[in-house]
Amino acid sequence: MPEKPYDDPFHDCELGPDAVLGTHTFEDVLFTDEMETPVNVLTGETPAHSRATVEEAKEFAASIDTETPQIALPASVESQVETQSKPYTAAAFFHFKATGSLEHHRAYHTTYEADVFVVDFEADYESGDLTITVERVEEA
């Protein structure tokens, strides 16, 4: 008997679980101490709001009140200038800015929410790399 669409956690995803199963590393996606920051052209200095450390960024991401673990991603220089914001922002560890596409975002989100998968991630703020591992429960 075929599964009903609502029985399949991937029924709304463009990608199936095979696209995210295993370990995948996304390089240079996290906030690091080496991120580009704006410079005031008159003074040659970085504005105070754009100065930040990885520790501050990690603390900020951890402080977000949500059940989904957050990571610190770099904010664009444009947004830092326009909104006078910090050089980082927080997002779910499977955010499309980290995984490279909305399709991967949805697939990782689905595996994270589904009981039949175990999802783990490692955020390496020194290298800027994010590693996500997805396994089926029976494999874990």
pLDDT tens-place values along the chain, 140 residues long: 445 555 778 888 899 889 999 999 999 999 998 877 767 777 887 777 777 899 999 999 999 999 999 999 998 888 888 888 889 999 999 999 999 999 999 999 999 999 999 999 999 999 999 999 999 988 65
Alpha helices in 24-126 (DSSP H): 54-63, 77-83, 96-99, 102-113
Residues β-bridged to residue 117: 136
pLDDT value of residue 1: 42
4 domain residue, yes or no: no
pLDDT value of residue 4: 52
67 domain residue, yes or no: yes
User: To which H or E segment does residue 136 belong?
Assistant: strand 129-136
- Tally the domains of the chain: 1
74 domain residue, yes or no: yes
Six-digit token string for 3: 């599964």
In the DSSP assignment, the letter for residue 58 is H
Three-state DSSP class for residue 53: coil
112 domain residue, yes or no: yes
Which residue matches tokens 């997805």? 134
Q: Domain limits at 76?
A: 14-139
On the CB side of 63, CA atoms within 13 Å amount to: 7
96 domain residue, yes or no: yes
132 domain residue, yes or no: yes
91 domain residue, yes or no: yes
1 domain residue, yes or no: no
pLDDT value of residue 5: 53
8 A C-beta contact, residue 50 and residue 37: yes
Residues β-bridged to residue 25: 131
